[in-house]
């Protein structure tokens, strides 16, 4: 598998420059790039480098964030605004938050950063063969994996953003989401200094998904490592992730990649882009489509194969978000949007291990004595 564009773009930042880049492509990131591009973007980079098909994109790095905050003079103003904050005064904090967020959203990036972003966006559009390619702009936090770090603001995602000005604008909105009232209070409470905060913003081609969903490389119900379980619905993955519909459900044998169980559900709604507002909206699935299998068998097999490769790369069961892109031809249209280690079963040991490591005869005897329960 290669990325959609097939070729690696040249890095936008001179490699000889010792200072970290302000902007970089996902494929330049690795698992250990979290301090530079946050958890989400580094994991996407890791996937791309593992040969997994991921929608292409780039990130404003934490270095870019710091330079923006310093160069636009925001840090100084922040200090004075936050100086008077009382963490118990919710209304007061909200007022401060509104001021700070307006401030961040109104300040332009430096020309240098603007140029870097514009150049990346232009190249991205070229790679996707789509002028003003629609992108998702989302924050990628550096402390995502810390307990209690998922405080408000760090999950902001803006979908169906088109044009470089809009991209820049929504990048600032992501940054400003660090300063919601709740986030300010939380940090004050925990004693985190605001000027030590850093964030990265990812800009990724929107997967124009005809079908999307989640995939586990372990059976979430019984911890069976020999299967891959896929849930899918038409449209974007939101309806599956949020549990708004009962998705189609497939169980694939991980060893042989054949589909060993399938449940086709009645899927009443799906999310697709609203052409007017260019946002993701829930729509009713036409009645005659509701009971149609949302993923064809060949796609299920290909997806499961990808899941198997991802698990192999990480060496552990994974929890994966995926989409089938309607703009691309079969065989190159399935994308991985996100992959993270599965946590529930991985912490338990394999389902009720019964092996004593003893002889076959001992096992046969003890099993005969136990028998098979027929309730």
Partner 1 sequence: MKFPVPHDIKAKTIPGTEGWERMYPYQYQFVTDDPVRNQYEKETFWFYDGLHYPEPLYPFDTIWDEAWFLALSQFNNRIFMVPPVRGVDHRMINGYPYISPVPVKDPAEIDSRVPNFMERAGYYYKNWDALEAKWKVKMEATIRELEALQIPRLAEMEDISVVTDAIGESKGYHLLKNYDDLINLGIKCWQYHFEFLNLGYAAYVFFLDFAQKLFPSIPPQRVTQMISGIDVIMYQPDEELKKLARRAVELGVDSVITFSPEWTVVEAALKKLPKGVEWLTSLALAREPWFNISTGTGWFHHDRSWNDQMNVPLSGIATYIGKVKQGISLDRPTEKVRAERDRITAEYRDLIEKDEDRKQFDELLGCAKTVFPYVENHLFYVEHWFHSVFWNKMREVGVIMKEHGVIEEVEDIWLLRRDEIKSALWDIVTAWATGVTPRGTMTWPKEILWRKGVMQKFKEWSPPPAIGTAPEVIQEPFTIVLWGVTNKSLADWASVQEVKDPSSITELKGFAGSPGIVEGKARVCRTVSEVGQLQEGEILVAPTTSPSWAPAFAKIGACVTDVGGVMSHAAIVCREYGMPAVVGTGHATKIIKTGMMIRVDGSTGAITITR
Which 19-38 residues touch partner 1, going by CB under 8 A?
Answer: none
339 CB burial (10 A radius; 0-12, 13-18, 19+)? buried
Please state, as a whole number, how many other Cβ atoms lie within 10 Å of the Cβ of residue 285.
21
Q: Are 59 and 37 in contact (CB under 8 A)?
A: yes
Closer residue to partner 1 (CB): 242 or 266: 266
Element (H, E) at 29: none
Alpha carbon of 321 to those of 53, 117, 230, 240, 313: distances in Å?
12, 26, 10, 10, 16
> Does residue 295 belong to the site contacting partner 1 (CB under 8 A)?
no
- For 362, the token pair is 């001992």
What is the Cβ-side half-sphere exposure of residue 360, based on CA atoms within 13 angstroms? 0
> Does residue 256 belong to the site contacting partner 1 (CB under 8 A)?
yes
Closer residue to partner 1 (CB): 76 or 316: 316
- For 204, the token pair is 């990724």
Closer residue to partner 1 (CB): 14 or 288: 288
Applying CB under 8 A, among 254, 307, 314, 321 the residue interacting with partner 1 is 254
- Report the candidate in 302, 303, 321, 299 with the shortest Cα–Cα distance to residue 237: 321
Applying CB under 8 A, among 227, 240, 320, 323 the residue interacting with partner 1 is 227
Tell me how far, at minimum, the Cβ of 192 lies from partner 1, in Å.
38
Q: Quote the DSSP letter at residue 52.
A: -
Residues 6+ apart with CB under 8 A from 105: 169, 172, 173, 176
Q: Quote the DSSP letter at residue 163.
A: S
Tell me how far, at minimum, the Cβ of 362 lies from partner 1, in Å.
9
Tell me how far, at minimum, the Cβ of 365 lies from partner 1, in Å.
7
Alpha carbon of 230 to those of 212, 234, 290: distances in Å?
10, 13, 18
Applying CB under 8 A, among 2, 242, 343, 367 the residue interacting with partner 1 is 367
Closer residue to partner 1 (CB): 277 or 353: 353
- For 253, the token pair is 């044998």
> Does residue 259 belong to the site contacting partner 1 (CB under 8 A)?
yes
> Does residue 315 belong to the site contacting partner 1 (CB under 8 A)?
no
Applying CB under 8 A, among 138, 170, 219, 267 the residue interacting with partner 1 is 219
Contact flags string 337-366 toward partner 1, x per CB under 8 A: ------------xxxxxxxxxxxxx-xxx-
Closer residue to partner 1 (CB): 95 or 224: 224
Contact flags string 260-279 toward partner 1, x per CB under 8 A: xxx-----------------
Span from 105-113, 197-205, 256-264, 322-330 in contact with partner 1 (CB under 8 A): 256-264
> Does residue 371 belong to the site contacting partner 1 (CB under 8 A)?
yes
Please state, as a whole number, how many other Cβ atoms lie within 10 Å of the Cβ of residue 331.
9
> Does residue 368 belong to the site contacting partner 1 (CB under 8 A)?
yes
Q: Are 289 and 272 in contact (CB under 8 A)?
A: no
Where do contacts with partner 1 occur on this chain (CB under 8 A)? Answer: 219, 222, 224-227, 251, 253-256, 258-262, 297, 349-361, 363-365, 367-375
């Amino acid at each position: 598998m290669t990325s959609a564009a097939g070729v690696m773009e040249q890095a936008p930042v001179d490699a000889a420059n010792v200072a970290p880049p302000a902007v970089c492509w996902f494929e330049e990131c690795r698992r250990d790039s979290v301090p530079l591009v946050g958890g989400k973007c580094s994991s996407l980079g890791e996937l791309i480098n593992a040969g997994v098909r991921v929608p292409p994109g780039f990130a404003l790095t934490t270095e870019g964030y710091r330079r923006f905050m310093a160069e636009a003079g925001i840090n100084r103003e922040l200090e004075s605004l936050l100086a008077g904050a009382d963490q118990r005064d919710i209304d007061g904090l909200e007022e401060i938050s509104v001021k700070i967020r307006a401030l961040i959203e109104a300040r332009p990036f430096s020309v240098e950063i603007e140029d870097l972003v514009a150049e990346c966006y232009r190249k991205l559009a070229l790679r996707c063969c789509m002028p003003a390619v629609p992108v998702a702009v989302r924050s990628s936090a550096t402390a995502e994996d810390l307990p209690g770090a998922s405080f408000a603001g760090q999950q902001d995602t803006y979908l169906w953003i088109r044009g470089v000005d809009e991209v820049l604008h929504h990048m600032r909105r992501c940054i400003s989401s660090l300063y919601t009232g709740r986030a300010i209070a939380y940090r004050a409470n925990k004693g985190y200094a605001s000027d030590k905060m850093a964030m990265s913003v990812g800009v990724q081609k929107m997967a124009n998904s005809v079908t999307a969903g989640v995939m586990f490389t372990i059976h979430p119900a019984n911890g069976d490592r020999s299967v891959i379980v896929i849930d899918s619905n038409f449209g974007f993955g939101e309806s599956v992730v949020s549990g708004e519909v009962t998705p189609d459900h497939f169980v694939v044998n991980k060893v042989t990649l054949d589909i060993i169980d399938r449940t086709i559900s009645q899927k009443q709604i799906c999310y697709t882009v609203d052409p007017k507002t260019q946002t993701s909206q829930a729509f009713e699935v036409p009645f005659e489509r509701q009971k149609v299998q949302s993923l064809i068998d060949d796609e299920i097999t290909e997806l499961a194969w990808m899941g198997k490769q991802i698990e192999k790369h990480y060496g552990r069961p994974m929890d994966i978000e995926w989409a089938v892109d309607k703009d691309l031809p079969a065989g190159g249209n399935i994308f991985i949007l996100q992959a993270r280690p599965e946590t529930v079963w991985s912490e338990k040991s394999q389902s009720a291990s019964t092996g004593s490591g003893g002889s076959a005869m001992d096992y046969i005897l003890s099993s005969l004595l136990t028998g098979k329960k027929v309730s």
